[in-house]
Structure 1
């Protein structure tokens, strides 16, 4: 069950990231981030209140969920900007290297993946590294590519922090973990939008579309947090981190981004690693 939930979450994340990345090429990233976070918050807050689920009994769980939300929004902000200025098929796999954080946390907490699963995790990590290799046409593109890689690495740390920080509170309440993780960053992102007053603003139709992307992202977040309550953190974290596979495929089909041979090998390794983890 945990494996299926994590893989589904990865597919949803890959789709939402691709759509948000496209939007970030037309609209200022803070606005995209605010709409994505706000759209997801509206849905999950409604569900949480309607369910009547009790709030956390432990303050540390609430604080951990808030911390996870802040780490996640930092990751998304850097990630969306990287998608806007870089090549999606390069940026997305690099962002998944944050899978190393939950793996380490899982092992420290006592998780012991099988030999097959461990080999799968290694294949996934190697795969995303190979998928990140790219040559640039000119100096300007190379500079943008380097900036995108740095932002993607920062987002990797943030995503890894999100997985780790939301693991414990999710055991107490999945709904409240998601709600707090979504609500906590909203004032910060709104303040950034007000301070920057970005000129690139969406039309009403585009704004609604971006907010809808937030519900897809919410579905992914919900699925991976639920998966964490049913399986090993190390396995769920890496499988959930395989969202770049979907993003790379969408970029190839929709944007006609071309993958070099090493990148193709990386995608195959990542897919093989997912199969190995599932088998283990």
Structure 2
């Protein structure tokens, strides 16, 4: 059940990335990001009220809040890098480095001990994600773009590791606490660009829905991390960059490069290895 939950989380995040990217072409990314976090808070709050929690400890809420700070940080720097037209630099660095940092934290700090098949899957995932995201094929990036990718990857690692440390007895309240922290983190930026918050009602609703999808992805990841090794849950959930490529091919008739084809095949192999491991 754990691998299935983590993979479903990856599907949610893949759809969110795809639809969020399309929305960001029609409105400022700061407004899409902020309304997305509000939508995530709404869904996470309702879900936390509906799912029983045996004991919600302050430590669980703090881990959840730290996870939300990671989410907000990752979203901010990823979107800033993408706004500079540095997708081929920022996306591979944020995805691959985020996975590597999360796995290292799980193994070195939390005592995770993946089996041989799982280690092979982890090893395959890193180059697969790099290739899926383009593998730097778009040319050399500037130092600032690389920095955006590294900062985003740190946020991804904090998001996954901190949420995985929340106790299972807390139900879904750590996810709700994280959404509150993310909204508060992004609020100063949103208020500095108030004109960006005046979106048409349809775009606002779509942004809220995208954020709710991201919160659902985190809920599924939390449930997955409670049922298996954190390192394995992180890697499976982090396969989400493959889905926007597939959706772009199917819905937008985009062309997939040989690099991306190799990456998709590698991601499929990694999924099998991690599930069996």
Q: Is TM more than 0.5 here?
A: yes
CA distance in 2, matches of 1:51, 1:264: 40
Q: Is the 8 A contact 2:69 2:185 kept in 1?
A: no
Determine helix, strand or coil for the equivalent of 2:255: coil
Give the alignment of 1:155-174 within 5 angstroms: 155-174=152-171
Q: Is the 8 A contact 1:28 1:201 kept in 2?
A: no
CA distance in 2, matches of 1:178, 1:219: 9
Match in the other structure for 2:227 = 230
CA distance in 2, matches of 1:12, 1:63: 25
Q: Is 1:30 aligned with 2:27?
A: no
CA distance in 2, matches of 1:251, 1:88: 15
Q: Is 1:209 aligned with 2:206?
A: yes
CA distance in 2, matches of 1:170, 1:220: 18
CA distance in 1, matches of 2:197, 2:43: 26
Match in the other structure for 1:66 = 65
Match in the other structure for 1:113 = 114
**1:88 Cα offset (Å):** 5.9
* Aligned pair partner of 2:192 in 190, 195, 198: 195
**1:225 Cα offset (Å):** 0.7
Aligned residues: 274
Change beyond 3 A, Cα 1:201–1:82:
farther
* Aligned pair partner of 1:182 in 175, 179, 187: 179
Q: Is 1:5 aligned with 2:5?
A: yes
Q: Is the 8 A contact 1:252 1:258 kept in 2?
A: yes
Match in the other structure for 2:245 = 248
State the superposition RMSD in angstroms: 2.4
**1:42 Cα offset (Å):** 1.1
Q: Is 1:151 aligned with 2:152?
A: no
CA distance in 2, matches of 1:235, 1:45: 27
- TM-score (normalizing by structure 1): 0.87
CA distance in 1, matches of 2:79, 2:167: 26
**1:241 Cα offset (Å):** 0.6
CA distance in 1, matches of 2:245, 2:86: 9
CA distance in 2, matches of 1:235, 1:120: 9
**1:200 Cα offset (Å):** 7.6
Change beyond 3 A, Cα 1:156–1:13:
same
Q: Is the 8 A contact 1:67 1:181 kept in 2?
A: yes
Match in the other structure for 1:48 = 48
- TM-score (normalizing by structure 2): 0.88
CA distance in 2, matches of 1:273, 1:5: 16
Match in the other structure for 2:135 = 133
Determine helix, strand or coil for the equivalent of 1:243: coil
Determine helix, strand or coil for the equivalent of 2:53: coil
Change beyond 3 A, Cα 1:117–1:28:
same
Structure 1, residues 119-177: CA drift from partner, whole Å, max 9, x if none? 0110011211233324448xxxx66x876554333222211111111112143323110
Change beyond 3 A, Cα 1:116–1:51:
closer
**1:219 Cα offset (Å):** 1.2
Determine helix, strand or coil for the equivalent of 1:27: coil
Change beyond 3 A, Cα 1:51–1:182:
same
